[in-house]
Amino acid sequence: MARITASVFTSHVPAIGAALDLGKTQEPYWQALFAGYEYSKEWMTQNTPDVIFLVFNDHATAFSLDMIPTFAIGTAAQYTPADEGWGPRPVPMVQGHPELAAHIAQSVIQQDFDLTIVNKMDVDHGLTVPLSLMCGQPHAWPCPVIPFAVNVVQYPVPSGQRCFNLGKAIAKAVNSFDADLNVHIWGTGGMSHQLQGPRAGLINKEFDNAFLDRLIADPAGLAQMPHIDYVREAGSEGIELVMWLIARGAMSDISGGAAPQVKHRFYHVPASNTAVGHLILENI
Ligand code: DHB
Ligand code: FE
């Protein structure tokens, strides 16, 4: 049977991708940030999964305002890194896992979540930057990836509670796939940031650290936080954090298992306009 063995949580700032691609990781501004992912890259090589289920948000790249799916699962065999205005990032193509993705779509839709099926999609920094942070600059990504896009860009956005419940449904779907696969689930985006309006530049370290504490120890309580609290406390783009609840909801303790082990925790300000947060949790 397939099994979710770990969850990874990380911010996805586009400037991080540019710093990597342009060889700036050792510059004073970036050094401390990339140092925080050294453990993670080592952990990825020691714990390479068979598949990553990567929860991210598209930033009006693949989906414009013409069409806005709340939850979209990638069922394609391959995904091309998107051109976000400066040419595509020089990163590998993303290989998909159509069989597992189709199974998860079937199971999760039958568990009453409406997913959009996506057979063709270019993937933006929301997906490629987390892969770069966790895997460095390889010629090929270490395993297939199932992209799972969540609308946190155009209101109305899904609630934390719905995301958390969806995570549970995804875990159930993975556990019923009839092949011996080691699956990681990643929740990406966040932490506090606001890119526009009078509060542009907002960072809330207290909120972010409390969010990390509660994501680890009180995820069901955290799931009840209404979206307006994200916006007030973490800024308009802080709402990206609801995606972390999908990954957290898929961990075993939410469905009666033991609490996960915290393998790594990192927090750093600033990275562009964003506070960067990062966690690795392992199921026992
Ligand atoms: C920044 C952060 C984001 O999450 C994003 O999608 C775009 C830009 C930033 O901090 O610059
Ligand atoms: Fe973003």
Q: Are 82 and 122 in contact (CB under 8 A)?
A: yes
CA 114 to chain centre: 19
| pTM as predicted | 0.98
For residues 120-142, one letter each, b for 16 or more C-beta atoms within 10 angstroms of the residue's C-beta and e for the rest, the string is ebbbbbbbbbbbbbbbbeeeebb
- The residues that are catalytic are 125, 193
Bridge partners (DSSP) of residue 56 are: 149
CA atoms 126, 127, 128, 130: torsion sign: positive
> CB-based burial of residue 94 (10 Å sphere; 0-12 exposed, 13-18 middle, 19+ buried)?
buried
**Closest atom, ligand 1, to C-alpha of 237:** 4
The answer to whether the CB of 274 is under 6 A from ligand 1 is: yes
Q: Which of 16, 89, 202, 272 to mutate to test the pocket of ligand 1 (most atoms within 8 A of CB)?
A: 272
Side-chain-facing half-sphere of 140: CA atoms under 13 Å: 6
pLDDT tens, position by position, 234-257: 999 999 999 999 999 999 999 999
Q: Which domains, from first to last, does the chain contain? A: 3-282 (3.40.830.10)
What's the mean per-residue pLDDT of the chain? Answer: 98
pLDDT tens, position by position, 130-184: 999 999 999 999 999 999 999 999 999 999 999 999 999 999 999 999 999 999 9
Cα angle for residues 57, 178, 74 (degrees, 5° grid): 20
**Closest atom, ligand 1, to C-alpha of 273:** 10
